[in-house]
Amino acid sequence: MTEKGPTPLERFINGILPENPVYRQVLGMCPTLAVTNGMKAAMTMAAAVAFVLVCANILTSLIRNLLKPHLRILVFTLTIATFVTVADRIIAAYMYDMSKQLGPYIPLIIVNCIIICRCEVCASKQNVLTAATDALGQSLGFALALASIASVREILGSGSWFGIEVMPAGWPDWVVMVLPPGAFLTLGLLLGAANWIGELAARRRTTQGVA
């Protein structure tokens, strides 16, 4: 298998912003919408996804030459499900309150399409180093996206950040922001802002290229 395409470092950087899983690929919408009403929950989710993604990518990359094409999805799912269950148990054992708050969303990482996408697109074709850096970059990108949405929602909706009061005492909580509609509104507006910034940057590049 030839190993052309982006170098491991490029893959790492790509995952963070240029190919951000949420803002560019629009993958993993379920946790993005469901657990971003507070920073604590969002960061726990991001950490769990990072753990599963890195482990699954490394393992898939290790066994990539043994994979039968028509059984590969089965193997990916099996691998992912195992690591998700491990993550779920660890959170239930050491962060019980968080586990209760996140409820079904930790087990639901199994169907998070970011992970199976990276297994399919990268890990099943690249060496371990590339797969690991790719997973780290994508995890970081996912964490950044969750952090941006959760910051907006928690600051407006609860007047706090990581549970610490940041707004002045008289701040009226925008209850709508911690409810599901707030997730859709925030994601939509931030997605629009991300596209707008991307477009501005692209325009600046082309005008510079001409001049």
Partner 1 sequence: MSEEQQNQTEVAPAPSLEVAPGPHLHTTKLSTRRMMADVLIALVPLVVAALAVFRMGAVMQIVVCTAAALVAEYLFTAMRGKPFSLGDGSAAVTGLILALSLPGTAPWYVGAIGSFSAIGLGKVVFGGLGQNVFNPAMVGRAFVMIAFPAAVGASAYVDTSSVVEAVTRATPLTALKQEGLPTSLADLFIGSTNGSLGETSALACLIGGLYLCIRRTASWEIPAGVIAAVAVIAGLINLTDMQAHWTVAHHILGGALLFGAFFIATDPVSSPLTPKGKWIFGAGVGALVMLLRKLSGYPEGVMFAVLIMNALVPLINRWTIPVPVGGPVPEPKS
Partner 2 sequence: MKDNYLKQAWLVLLLALCFGGVLAGVEHSLKGRIDENKKADTLGQIPNLVPGAVSASFSNGVYRAVTQNGDHAGWVLLVTGQGFADKVELLLGLNADASQITGVYILDQKETPGLGNKIVEDEWRAQFAGKSTQQPLEIVKRKAEKDNEIEAVTGATISSETVKDMVNRAAADFRRQLASGGF
Q: Using the minimum distance from each CB to partner 1, give the nearer residue, 78 or 175.
A: 175
Burial class of residue 202 (count of CB atoms within 10 Å of its CB; 0-12, 13-18, 19+) = exposed
**Which amino acid is residue 148, in one-letter code?**
S
- CB under 5 to 8 A by kind: which of partner 2, partner 1, none does 177 bind? partner 1
CA dihedral 7, 148, 45, 172 (to 10 degrees): 180
Which residues in the 35-64 window bind partner 2 by CB under 8 A? 63
Closest CA to 198 of 20, 51, 52, 33: 20
- CB under 5 to 8 A by kind: which of partner 1, partner 2, none does 73 bind? none
173 binds partner 2 (CB under 8 A): yes
- CB under 5 to 8 A by kind: which of partner 1, partner 2, none does 68 bind? partner 2
Q: What are the CA-CA distances from residue 42 to residues 27, 28, 146, 148 (Å)?
A: 16, 13, 6, 10
CA distance 122 to 116: 10
67 binds partner 2 (CB under 8 A): yes
- Name 63's bridge partners: none
Contacting partner 2 (CB under 8 A), which of 50, 178, 183, 187? 178
Contacting partner 2 (CB under 8 A), which of 94, 164, 201, 208? 94
Which residues in the 127-186 window bind partner 1 by CB under 8 A? 172, 174-177, 179, 181, 185
**Which amino acid is residue 157, in one-letter code?**
G
Q: What are the CA-CA distances from residue 144 to residues 15, 20, 32, 80, 128 (Å)?
A: 11, 9, 11, 22, 24
**Binding region for partner 2 (CB under 8 A):** 63, 66-68, 71, 74-75, 78-79, 81-82, 85-86, 89-90, 92-94, 96, 100, 173, 175, 178-179
**Binding region for partner 1 (CB under 8 A):** 172, 174-177, 179, 181, 185, 188, 192
